[in-house]
Amino acid sequence: MFAPRQFETPYADALRSLAEHDWQRLHVPAHQGRAENAPGLAQLVGAEALGIDVPMLFSGVDQVTWQLAAPGRATPLMRAQELAAEARGARRVWFLTNGSSGGNHIATTVARGLGTELVVQRSVHSSVIDGLTRVGLSPHFVHGTLDAELGSSHGVTAAQVEEALVEHPASAAVYIVSPSYFGAIADVEAIAEAAHAHGVPLIVDEAWGSHLGLHPDLPVNAVRLGADLLISSTHKGAGSLTQSAVLELGHGEHAGRIETLVDRVVRSYQSTSSSALLLASIDEARRFIVTRPDVVERALRSAQEIRGLLHEDHRFQDATPDILAYPDVVAVDPFKIAIDTRGAGITGHAAQHLLLRDHRIYCELSTPSALLLLIGATSPVDVGRFWEALTSLPRAEPQPERSFPLPSACSRAMGLDEAFFAPVEAVPYDRAPGRVSADSLAAYPPGVPNVLPGEILSEEVVSFLRRTAASPTGYVRGAVDAELRTFRVVAQ
């Protein structure tokens, strides 16, 4: 049961109190809180949103009231972060306004403060690779399972992490992803034990699990399972505004050892002009999901209803049992539903296109063989509307192609940072195989890098990335051009 103080929203309330006064604003932002000063913007977000779009250092938000507070008293933002830490079971929480990508840059910088090597899950988000490159960390990759049929990657096991730490004893941290884009949850508790046995902290990119641990019917979140530092996209599962996220510090000696470093790094990365709207949305989202378990239960029931219909259906299939069969998966996020379309006479891409065009239904992801639904933890689904649209989709002839396999990892020729900062040249795609990539290229979805700076581009990877870019719902992050006609490589 949540504590009564979880009904409080200190930061959001401070913003609302500001709006009660007729301010003559002679400060940034330049619209100065009035719709007439930015009519197009007001039409987009509303006049009320402009009124509370205030700078972070405004005394009414940064202090206890709109009057100056006594020195040493907690600000509304500090109290909001304390409530978030309490709800999530963390030692400490920092609100972020540059998404989990920014959180990954913070975490990789923290890792660099501990050493120059670390063990990293290969299927991390591209922002982790960007962070490693910027700070000169040498990664030792652990390769999780790849589901070539669904077009997804899952997690890693504690045994793999243990083996990597034994092989690379100079590693200063372990960095994994859980849940995966498809909702696969790794055995974080066992992985944390393996990391701690070697005297290093565990960092978890929990971007897709911001709702975990906030309701008894949801899987436990990573900070409660022993993780030391976590990155969580509150907008993905918990309902805050896009680009908002949190950084969570765990408990125990390893988390305690890095707390001061984390705080310093957060300050160095966080904007001094953080959006008050984004910060307040984290505060409000936390209150709603924690204090309204009935809404979470309604959302869970709607997800279960969709799974039940899939179980009874002879055309579309629930891919959850297939995901759970992998050795690196111990649970699946109930709010992620992977629908296998391979026996349905239609590709996942075609299903996504028709659902968009004809039914105004937008799913999180499509692959050639699957549709992936993301249900917000406080957003029950109109199951009838979705199911009627899905089952009305036409069958195509001949049978659609199966999902093309995810490519194998490329071999390394030079270090990440060495390649990234080296002189580069752009070459046509047919001349790219055999050359050293200067870029991190990640097929979206799901955003897992397929080639890293310093790795030798293979024909398999070049073909895969070009096919992804040509698909109706795919693109490649880091590409020189949208069609991947050219690749940026280290100059010879």
Q: Each residue's pLDDT tens digit in the chain (492 positions)?
A: 678 999 999 999 988 888 888 888 888 899 998 999 999 999 999 999 998 898 876 655 654 444 444 555 688 999 999 999 999 999 999 999 999 999 999 999 999 999 999 999 998 998 999 999 999 999 999 998 888 777 788 999 999 999 999 999 999 999 999 999 999 999 999 999 999 999 999 999 999 999 999 999 999 999 999 999 999 999 999 999 999 999 999 999 999 999 999 999 999 998 888 999 999 999 999 999 999 999 999 999 999 999 999 999 989 999 999 999 999 999 999 999 999 998 899 989 899 999 999 999 999 988 888 999 999 999 999 999 999 999 999 987 545 455 556 788 889 999 999 999 999 999 999 999 999 999 999 887 666 789 999 999 999 999 999 988 887 667 898 999 989 999 999 998
Q: Give the pTM.
A: 0.93
Domains of the chain: 76-290 (3.40.640.10), 294-391 (3.90.1150.10), 416-490 (3.90.100.10)
Q: Which H, E and C letters describe the chain, residue by residue?
A: CCCHHHHCCHHHHHHHHHHCCCCCCCCCCCCCCCHHHCHHHHHHHCHHHHHCCCCCCCHHHHCCCCCCCCCCCCCHHHHHHHHHHHHHCCCEEEEECCHHHHHHHHHHHHHHCCCCEEEEECCCCHHHHHHHHHHCCEEEEECCCEECCCCEECCCCHHHHHHHHHHCCCCCCEEEECCCCCCEECCHHHHHHHHHHCCCCEEEECHHHCCCCCCCCCCCCHHHHCCCEEEECHHHHCCCCCCCEEEEECCCHHHHHHHHHHHHHHHHHCCCCCCHHHHHHHHHHHHHHHHCHHHHHHHHHHHHHHHHHHHHCCCCEECHHHHHCCCCCCEECCCEEEEECCCCCCCHHHHHHHHHHHHCCCCCEEECCEEEEECCCCCCCCHHHHHHHHHCCCCCCCCCCCCCCCCCCCCECCCHHHHHCCCEEEEEHHHCCCCEECCCEEEECCCEEEECCCEECCHHHHHHHHHHHHCCCCEEECCCCCCCCEEEEECC
